[in-house]
Amino acid sequence: MGKTNSALLVVCFSALFISAAQASWFWNDFYAFFGQNNVKFPGPKVGRTVVLSMTNQTGSGFRSYSPYLFGRFSIKIKTMKGYSAGTVTAFHMASNSKNWCELDYEFLGNVTGQPYNLQTNIFVEGIGNREQRINLWFDPSAAYHEYTFLWNQKQVLFLVDTIVIRVFKNQQGLPYLDYQPMFVYGSEWNGDDWATRGGLDKINWAYAPFEASFTAFNIHNSCKVKNPLSLNQLHTCYRKARISTYGQGVNLSLNKKQINDLRWIRQKYLTYDYCIDKARFAGKVPPECRQNWP
Ligand SMILES: *[C@@H]1O[C@H](CO)[C@@H](O)[C@H](O)[C@H]1NC(C)=O
Ligand SMILES: *[C@@H]1O[C@H](CO)[C@@H](O)[C@H](O)[C@H]1NC(C)=O
Ligand SMILES: *[C@@H]1O[C@H](CO)[C@@H](O)[C@H](O)[C@H]1NC(C)=O
């Protein structure tokens, strides 16, 4: 192995273990990438929490410096109270290649007194159209709750606190989120042409600024990729991910509790599922839907 390769290996190796640090400072891994003036760091522990706000001028967002391949990514989020119709508060991951991969959490705001919807979506090879929406069993504006992506070579889990709300499995013959390291993002933006009751309820700027708070940034057992164009580096990360706790054993498939979680969500909280929206797909549901729910 050449000099460059072993250097890269060291980078990935250390990233894998360093990333076990709990609840890091915002600026260790992230920077404000749009609406900088609307990105705030309230005290007393400046840098533990970031508040993204949207004014009539602009929304705002942060992004990780590096992309990551596999791992566990979680952030605690508290959305805004009161009138939030038309606003979208998002925590997502995405690669930046032409046929990109993406995993989304999107809190769709509502008029005062009506509940948020939590929309999730998955893009593989540049194609999304995999929306699911749920009501939450709590008010996401009342307190922080943890939202997690757990991504390994076999499945992606979406967790709200300890509850699995969605799974996307790596199924033979179907595209999967593979070999494309993804950046981690948080954002606050105007989605009032679609977000609330399909765009009927608009943003009311009298309630601006709209602010959501993010804290407890955790990236675990993940491989930070310095150069996503280096195949060597990706292979190394892939190998490291496979031997991490997330890439092995029970974490490769759903356990009993997770199966029960998903059944509970589907029965009680699901408000939209692309897999049962036959009209949208000319009568044929997408092939991955067979394994979307246990
Ligand atoms: C935007 O909001 C500011 C502060 O509330 C206000 O002064 C200004 O008139 C608004 N601009 C527009 C175009 O609505
Ligand atoms: C907002 O509230 C209405 C009325 O309860 C509900 O139909 C809708 O699903 C809620 N959420 C969104 C994002 O529209
Ligand atoms: C699954 O991942 C969690 C989090 O790292 C870990 O605690 C657990 O041991 C893993 N399970 C297996 C069987 O690897």
Region 76-86: what's the mean pLDDT? 98
**How high is the pLDDT of residue 14?**
37
Residue nearest to atom 9 of ligand 3 (CA): 245
Question: For residue 52, which phi and psi values (nearest 5 degrees)?
Answer: -100, 130
Residue nearest to atom 7 of ligand 3 (CA): 245
How far apart CA 120 and CA 132 sit, in angstroms, is 5
pLDDT band with cut points at 50, 70 and 90 for residue 247: confident
Query: From the alpha carbon of 221, which atom of ligand 3 is closest?
Result: 5
Question: For residue 40, which phi and psi values (nearest 5 degrees)?
Answer: -125, 150
**Tokens of residue 54, six digits:** 């949207």
**How high is the pLDDT of residue 44?**
87
Residue nearest to atom 6 of ligand 2 (CA): 197
Nearest by Cα to 91 from 210, 185, 189: 185
119-155 pLDDT, tens digit per residue, is 999 999 999 999 999 999 999 999 999 999 999 999 9
Whole-prediction pTM value?
0.91
292 lines ligand 2 (CB under 6 A): no
Residue 240 pLDDT > 70, yes or no?
yes
List of domains in the chain: 24-291 (2.60.120.200)
How far apart CA 84 and CA 211 sit, in angstroms, is 9
**How high is the pLDDT of residue 22?**
52
7-45 pLDDT, tens digit per residue, is 333 333 334 333 444 567 898 899 999 999 999 999 888
Active-site positions read 102, 106
- Please tell me the distance between residue 197's alpha carbon and the centre of ligand 2 in angstroms: 6
Residue 173 pLDDT > 70, yes or no?
yes
- Give me the sign of the Cα torsion angle 102, 214, 238, 171: negative
Cβ < 6 Å from ligand 3: which residues?
221, 245-246, 248-251
pLDDT band with cut points at 50, 70 and 90 for residue 286: very high
Beta strands in 221-292 (DSSP E): 223-224, 270-273
182 vs 8: which has the higher pLDDT? 182
Pairing of strands 223-224, 270-273: unpaired
